[in-house]
Amino acid sequence: MEIGGIEALRAWRARQSGTVALVPTMGALHSGHRALMDRARESADHLVVSLFVNPLQFGPGEDFTRYPRPIEADLAMCEDAGAEFVFAPALIEMYPAAPEVTVSSGRMGAIFEGADRPGHFDGVLTVVTKLFHLTRPHVAVFGLKDIQQFSLVRRLITDLDFDIELIGLPVVRDRDGLAVSSRNDYLTPGERLAALAIPRALDAGESALTDGGLPEDVLAAARAALDGDLDVHYLALVEAATLQPVREQFRGSALLLIAATVGTTRLIDNRPLEF
């Protein structure tokens, strides 16, 4: 396994004749990332994993400086998963100066997470674009826990004509039902118990739909399950294709979205639903 920055990646990429899969990460790897790597390894001849904490997607007061960076453990997981190159550039290498030209996430990036975190998705799409240009992957694998991010990357690939197959992997959960996340490490035992209201709310919404409920019934059931010490930022039922609120007689694929802060930790989760 090779590890390096931009020039090393370009040299490695120039030597590859088969297909390449990319798993972009900010490090602090967990079982969800491992699942992404395993899926990517099945989808191409070569696997590249990026480890880069991207400052452009952090807003004022967010956790950029304290974001965990366990590089040795991350590299061990990458090697065990069969990664052939780990792209781990220095900050100054990716951004020698504040970028003048960035990628706009548009209307889809201004709602939900984007409304609470202005500029977040512009930062995400800017670094993903750089990663795509540097890696030139045939396949990119993202997790569906960050469903708004996945939707925007899909539009990025379509709107900017990247010749990349995008694969979304379903949410990976711990035994207690909480979606795995690097930020779960910030939770105290009591906060983790409180956070379990999030998957319970998703289950309640899905059960309401199974029982023949309308969109308003799904939302009401999910809202009723959001008990405990949670600061709920949004709870929404949206069309999967557009992220716009579902209509009363909607038929098709939808997403039940939740974002909440527990203690000082912001968590997001979602559940796909079929009406």
My answer on whether 34 and 162 are in the same domain is yes
Examine the domain organization and report whether 152 and 193 are in the same domain. no
The 3-state secondary structure of the chain, one letter per residue: CEEECHHHHHHHHHCCCCCEEEEEECCCCCHHHHHHHHHHHHHCCEEEEEECCCHHHCCCCCCCCCCCCCHHHHHHHHHHCCCCEEECCCHHHHCCCCCCCCCCCCHHHCCCHHHHCCCHHHHHHHHHHHHHHHHCCCEEEEECCCHHHHHHHHHHHHHCCCCCEEEEECCCECCCCCECCHHHHHCCHHHHHHHCHHHHHHHHHHHHHHCCCCHHHHHHHHHHHCCCCCEEEEEEEEECCCCCECCCCCCCEEEEEEEEEECCEEEEEEEEEEC
Could you give the number of structural domains in the chain?
2
What range does the domain containing 58 cover? 1-167
Residue 268 sits in a domain whose CATH number is: 3.30.1300.10
State the binding site for (R)-pantoate. Answer: 57, 149
Clarify whether residues 46 and 103 are in a common domain: yes
Residues 83 and 107 in one domain: yes
Average pLDDT over residues 244-262: 94
Known catalytic membership, residue 33 = yes
- How confident is the prediction for the chain on average, in pLDDT? 96
User: Which of these three, 167, 201, 221, is where a domain ends?
Assistant: 167
Q: Looking at the structure, tell me whether residues 157 and 187 fall in a common domain.
A: no
Is position 172 within any domain?
Answer: no
Binding residues: 26-33, 57, 143-146, 149, 172, 180-183
Grade residue 65 by pLDDT with cuts at 50, 70 and 90: confident
Asked whether residue 173 is assigned to any structural domain, the reply reads no
Residue 174 lies in a domain: no
Is the domain of 135 the same as that of 53?
yes
Residue 229 pLDDT:
83
Q: What is the pLDDT of residue 104?
A: 98
